[in-house]
Homo-oligomer: A and B are copies of this chain.
């Protein structure tokens, strides 16, 4: 395996030496946005949707993002430098150098691209545990993926400490929100639903693709507030993010007992996973279905 290479502010450098300024907004205040993306056959799926969300997040901080073409080139060059065609890509752009807490006086957003290999094959079914950490659906820039990520790390650590794979987070009003790294979908009586954005989940790019797929193939998915009671009555659960696409859930624990368990993947999940893989393969110019 070759040495991992990172893209930092226009240069390709060995990842072990790659760094950002101590006065960068990400380091000082967590004022940065990032996107986690998946490359298949060397092509990044829905790159433009990711760049749009990144741009919107930085705009919400009053910061002008680097041109999308520059970010596209950064991603391509990092991918090529690491000689990976199947990869997880993390692109982050900060609010810039910020020697004090003033978003109006920033300079030079840092741009970092990290590339990691990903294995092929279907992802294993997940055991989730409801975390005590809650998400504030009214947080500022809730639509953006910022490095204000501590709550999710703590929730995930809490879930893993009791043997689960990941945390299921509720929002502060008790509605189901998302996992630490993915959106949740619920299948019940042939209906598909996912927590509405007003419940506070990140508007995932894969969530959006799944909503489109479901609308065209049926059953159409409803975006709504989802209660824990509705989870209990679910026939199937799955999560979505850009790296795994779709991933079945096999159980949800809550306060030491099993809230839900079921077939993973169930038939609706399996069908949507198949359609999603087909879509990715088609857009990535692949010859065979994933």
A15 adjacent to chain B (CB < 8 Å): yes
Residue total for A at the interface (Cβ-Cβ under 8 A): 55
A124 adjacent to chain B (CB < 8 Å): no
A150 adjacent to chain B (CB < 8 Å): yes
What distance in Å separates the Cβ of A246 from its nearest Cβ neighbour in chain B?
Answer: 19
What distance in Å separates the Cβ of A32 from its nearest Cβ neighbour in chain B?
Answer: 8
Q: How many copies does the complex hold?
A: 2
Q: Are A114 and B148 in contact (CB under 8 A)?
A: no
* Least CB separation from A30: chain B residue: B30
A61 adjacent to chain B (CB < 8 Å): yes
Q: Are A157 and B62 in contact (CB under 8 A)?
A: yes
Q: Are A26 and B23 in contact (CB under 8 A)?
A: no
Q: Which of A68-76, A139-147, A206-214, A277-285 contacts B (4 or more CB under 8 A)?
A: A139-147
What distance in Å separates the Cβ of A173 from its nearest Cβ neighbour in chain B?
Answer: 10
- CA–CA, A24 to B8, complex, Å? 14
- CA–CA, A64 to B57, complex, Å? 33
A197 adjacent to chain B (CB < 8 Å): no
What distance in Å separates the Cβ of A278 from its nearest Cβ neighbour in chain B?
Answer: 29
A261 adjacent to chain B (CB < 8 Å): no
Residues of B within 8 Å of A154, CB to CB, are 60-61, 103, 140-141
Partner-B contacts on A (CB < 8 A)? 6, 8, 15, 18-24, 26-32, 34, 60-62, 90, 92, 95, 99, 101-104, 112, 114, 116, 133-134, 136, 138-141, 146-154, 156-157, 160-161, 172, 180-181
